[in-house]
Amino acid sequence: MALVPAWVCSTRRPFHDSRREPDVNPARPSLSTLTKPFSEPGSQPVPVSAVLNGAATCLFIVFAITALTLFLPLDPTNPSWQLRLIGGVINGAPLALLGFVLLHGAAHLDPQQSRYGVRLATARQRALLAAIGFVVLVPLQCVAIWTLLSRDENQLEQRRATTEATFVTLREAVQRAGTPEALKLQMRALRGPTISEEQLKLPIATLREQTMRALFRAEAVMNQQLSGLDQKAIMELVQSGIRIGVSSLAYAFAFALGAVMGQPLILRRIRKGLQWSSRRILRGL
């Protein structure tokens, strides 16, 4: 048997035994140790249903405050105020509808919470009233638009009559004036065309003719301005009315659907009614 040289034995590394050699590095904290304060029984996470219920409450409050501010300043007989109120309610309706949907989610996610069910039942009763209110907004808006257009047309007719009477008075004053100075005083008193110092040197016949031409030009401009209501403004008003009317009916349907979700009998009747209507339509086609 051959002998192993001594230098080989001196350079051979000893066998590493992890069981005998102590670990000099300190133990690193585990993930469970780091998250231990968050996993204590006393720090339970907030349920999703509570978050939805709180969000629904905030949305309802914001909608109520927005709706109340629309009444100021109070002027219920003014059609412009009525249209502004209706438009503001329609623009804020998504807040109430979203809150209604979140309240449904809270009640369905946590059915053991009786207060969620009670709030949902109360919200469904109010949603039925809201649906009726949105339907009523459509004829109210039509009446407000018609009243506004009629009022503007009456005001336009009054302005036409006043303008015509004013120009008749001005023409009569021009015919009555005997001197340029008297004509200048008459035009200044009636707020007619301005007569300069150079024009005072003209003969009265020439000055009358110039003044009459100025009156005819001014009358033509006024008649063009008072020819009728602004068609662009009327089209914008009608388009806004159609948009608000369709939106109001859509919100009425959404709130009514949410109000009858807890009434199976009503849902069955609605389903039968829709089926009967569809069959009638198909037979007519």
Query: Given this model, what pLDDT does residue 41 score?
Result: 47
Q: What angle do CA 66, 67, 72 make, to 5 degrees?
A: 95
pLDDT in tens, 271-280: 666 667 667 7
Beta-carbon count within 10 A of 62 CB: 14
Over residues 216-223, mean pLDDT? 90
pLDDT in tens, 113-171: 778 888 888 888 899 899 999 999 999 999 999 999 999 889 999 999 999 999 999 99
Q: Domain spans of the chain?
A: 47-152+230-264, 162-225
Query: Given this model, what pLDDT does residue 261 score?
Result: 73
Please tell me the least confidently modeled range out of 1-15, 157-171, 178-192.
1-15
Task: Evaluate if pTM is beyond 0.75.
Answer: no
Q: pLDDT band for 81, please (50, 70, 90 cuts).
A: very high
Over residues 59-76, mean pLDDT? 91
Quote the CA–CA distance of 187 and 170 in Å, as a whole number.
7
Query: Given this model, what pLDDT does residue 204 score?
Result: 87
Percent of the chain with pLDDT over 90: 36
The structure tokens listed for 40 are 């204590």
Residue with tokens 């949907």: 101
Query: Given this model, what pLDDT does residue 65 score?
Result: 94
Q: pLDDT band for 202, please (50, 70, 90 cuts).
A: confident
Quote the CA–CA distance of 156 and 230 in Å, as a whole number.
11
Helical axes 79-109 vs 231-259, angle rounded to 10°: 30
Query: Given this model, what pLDDT does residue 183 score?
Result: 87
Tell me if 204 sits within 8 A of 179, measured CB to CB: yes
Over residues 88-108, mean pLDDT? 92
